[in-house]
Structure 1
């Protein structure tokens, strides 16, 4: 288990959660885009012990952590198993625990547009939207369903333009930005289906 990552007061830290089962170049791609477009000082990969919305459990955490660290080589990105360390299972619990441990750090939740489409199914999703700014990165095929999602409709007045996305971490929640980036179509599901994991 890795130790808690370091962050200085006033820093803007992006949180990218997922099972990373397995991690792939698409994760690296959106991480670099998030750092640049959302004005993040740091980005933490939160490699989850398990996803409550998925029936089948992922590969062992130690295996996914090893693969993630080998895949994501960037001085401002830290691969963590922080949720196993904190004992949290849901994103809202993790965010609450991190805000308590790092009261002077500004967190931004980062997710792919595919997650925004079903965000209203997440536990305490409104609390997440109203607690931390949210940066959404479009992946191929997810743009329309994400823009029409329940979360996008309810919080439509809190959306900032892609041009202003670099100030996201300095805004009070609710605030979110939806950016389009040239995307790879890599997916963990496809990699597992090909038997490459």
Structure 2
């Protein structure tokens, strides 16, 4: 029997980009901010001085993003029942393609390279489920969309929402491993 398929976004879903932005901002300006600044604010506007775009073009930004809590174990568990694809719009920022590939190799070495899709437009993805933090990707999802909670999407109500990786597992009914 063929497994159902899942497309999983990287930034904001597997990779904790909000924490990375805050870390870079604190390093540059010496001011510690909290994730509250992202609440109901477009991600690019959350930090002052155009910092977000500056960081997205900084060498090492994508390579050193922290892993989202619970993501590694959850993806391992999902693989027992689903064909899992990592899908990332890695074309917009020149350094992201190579750095994201290296990041995945370090943190998710069990994901075969055949199951990694770097693209510019996720509307071409045809999986049974798509987990993403942006509606621009989920609104055109061919399967069932699952919105992964992030500050910038706090006000979105038209997709099924998961606040963390345990909720993803609950939604997808993955049997716990021993």
Pairwise same-fold verdict (TM > 0.5): no
Q: State the TM-score, normalized to the length of structure 1.
A: 0.39
Q: State the TM-score, normalized to the length of structure 2.
A: 0.42
